[in-house]
Amino acid sequence: MDDTPPDLPAPARRIGARAGRLLAAAVATGALVLSLAACSDGQVSRNSETDNIGYLEGDGVVNIIPPQDRKPAPEFGGPLLGEDGEFQLADARGDVVVLNVWGSWCPPCRKEAPGLQAAYEDLQDDGVQFIGVNTRDGQTETAALAFEEEFAITYPSVVDPDGEALLAFRETLPPSAIPSTLVVDREGRMAARVLGPISESSLRDMVADIAAEEPTGS
| 195: helix, strand or coil | strand
142-179: pLDDT as tens digits: 999 999 999 999 999 999 999 999 999 999 998 888 99
Q: Are residues 136 and 87 in the same domain?
A: yes
Phi (first) and psi of residue 16, to 5 degrees = -65, -45
Distance, C-alpha 25 to centroid of its chain: 33
Q: What integer pLDDT is reported at residue 61 of this predicted model?
A: 84
| 205: helix, strand or coil | helix
User: CATH no. for residue 90?
Assistant: 3.40.30.10
Q: What integer pLDDT is reported at residue 48 of this predicted model?
A: 31
Number of domains into which the chain is organized: 2
Query: Can you count the helices (H) and strands (E) in the chain?
Result: 4, 8
What range defines the domain where residue 93 resides? 51-211
**Structural domain includes residue 82:** yes
φ/ψ bin of 159: left (φ > 0), alpha (ψ from -120 to 50), beta (otherwise) = beta
Residues forming beta bridges with residue 190, ordered by sequence position: 184
**Structural domain includes residue 175:** yes
Q: What integer pLDDT is reported at residue 29 of this predicted model?
A: 38
